[in-house]
Amino acid sequence: MINIAARRCTSLDGKWQIIIDPTGAGDWRQVWQEKKTEKKTDFIEYSFEGGPVLNVPGDFNTQMTELKYYEGTVWYKKSFNYKSVGNKRLFLHFGAVNYLASVYLNGNLIGKHEGGFTPFQFEITDKVNSGINTVIIRVNNQRLKDGIPGLGYDWFNYGGITREVNLIETNNTFISDYFIQLGKNSLKEVNGWIKMNGIDHSQNITIKIPELKVDYQTRLDGEGFTEIKFAADFRLWSPENPKLYKLVIQSETDTIKDEIGFRSIVAKGPNILLNGKPVFLKGINIHEENPLKAARAYSESDALILLKWAKELGCNMVRLAHYPHNENMIKSAEKMGIMVWDEIPVYQQIEFSAPGVREKMDLMMREMVSRDKNRCGVIIWSLSNETNSSPDRDNALINLTDKCRHLDSTRLITSVINDENYSNNVMDVWDILYRHCDIISFNEYLGWYVPWQGRSTDVKWKFISDNKTVVITEFGGEAVFGNNIGPIDEASSWREEYQEQIYKDQVAMFHKMPDLYGVFPWLLADYRSSGRMHPLYQRGWNRKGLLSDKGEKKKAWYILKSYYDSINNNY
Ligand code: GCU
What is d(CA 144, CA 270) in angstroms, rounded to the nearest whole number? 39
For residue 298, the model assigns a pLDDT of: 98
pLDDT at 338 exceeding the cut of 80: yes
Mean pLDDT across the stretch 115-134?
97
Q: What is the pLDDT of residues 383-420, one digit of tens each?
A: 999 999 999 999 999 999 999 999 999 999 999 999 88
What is d(CA 524, CA 287) in angstroms, rounded to the nearest whole number? 8
DSSP string, 366-419: HHHHHHHTT-TTEEEEEEEESPPP-HHHHHHHHHHHHHHHHH-SSSEEEEEE--
Distance of CA 153 from the midpoint of ligand 1 (Å) = 9
For residue 514, the model assigns a pLDDT of: 84
Residues enclosing ligand 1, CB less than 6 A? 154, 322, 385-386, 418, 443, 474, 522, 542, 544
Mean pLDDT across the stretch 323-350?
98
Question: Which residue has the least CA distance to atom 12 on ligand 1?
Answer: 154
pLDDT at 360 exceeding the cut of 70: yes
Q: What is the pLDDT of residues 127-157, one digit of tens each?
A: 999 999 999 999 999 999 999 999 999 999 9
Which helix (H) or strand (E) segment is 174 a member of?
strand 174-179
Distance of CA 410 from the midpoint of ligand 1 (Å) = 29
Distance of CA 29 from the midpoint of ligand 1 (Å) = 41
For residue 270, the model assigns a pLDDT of: 87
What is d(CA 333, CA 242) in angstroms, rounded to the nearest whole number? 10
pTM, rounded to two decimals? 0.97
pLDDT at 324 exceeding the cut of 80: yes
pLDDT at 166 exceeding the cut of 90: yes
For residue 555, the model assigns a pLDDT of: 98
Mean pLDDT of the chain: 97
Please check whether residue 242 is in contact with residue 332, taking contact to mean a CB–CB distance below 8 angstroms.
Answer: no
Question: Which residue has the least CA distance to atom 7 on ligand 1?
Answer: 443
For residue 464, the model assigns a pLDDT of: 66
Q: What is the pLDDT of residues 228-252, one digit of tens each?
A: 999 999 999 999 999 999 999 999 9
Q: How many residues does the chain have?
A: 571
pLDDT at 466 exceeding the cut of 70: no
pLDDT at 465 exceeding the cut of 70: no
Distance of CA 154 from the midpoint of ligand 1 (Å) = 6
Q: CA gyration radius for the chain?
A: 25
Q: What is the pLDDT of residues 55-106, one digit of tens each?
A: 999 999 999 999 999 999 999 999 999 998 888 999 999 999 999 999 999 9
As to burial, measured by CB atoms within 10 angstroms (0-12 exposed, 13-18 middle, 19+ buried), residue 148 is buried
Percent of the chain topping pLDDT 90:
96
Q: What is the pLDDT of residues 539-551, one digit of tens each?
A: 999 999 999 999 9
Please check whether residue 523 is in contact with residue 476, taking contact to mean a CB–CB distance below 8 angstroms.
Answer: yes
Q: What is the pLDDT of residues 292-303, one digit of tens each?
A: 999 999 999 999
Question: Which residue has the least CA distance to atom 9 on ligand 1?
Answer: 154
Phi/psi zone of residue 185: left (φ > 0), alpha (ψ -120 to 50 degrees), beta? Answer: left
CA 122 to chain centre: 21
For residue 569, the model assigns a pLDDT of: 78
Of 343, 441, 443, 538, which is best to mutate to test ligand 1, by the most ligand atoms within 8 angstroms of its C-beta?
Answer: 443
Q: What is the pLDDT of residues 169-207, one digit of tens each?
A: 999 999 999 999 999 999 999 999 999 999 999 999 999
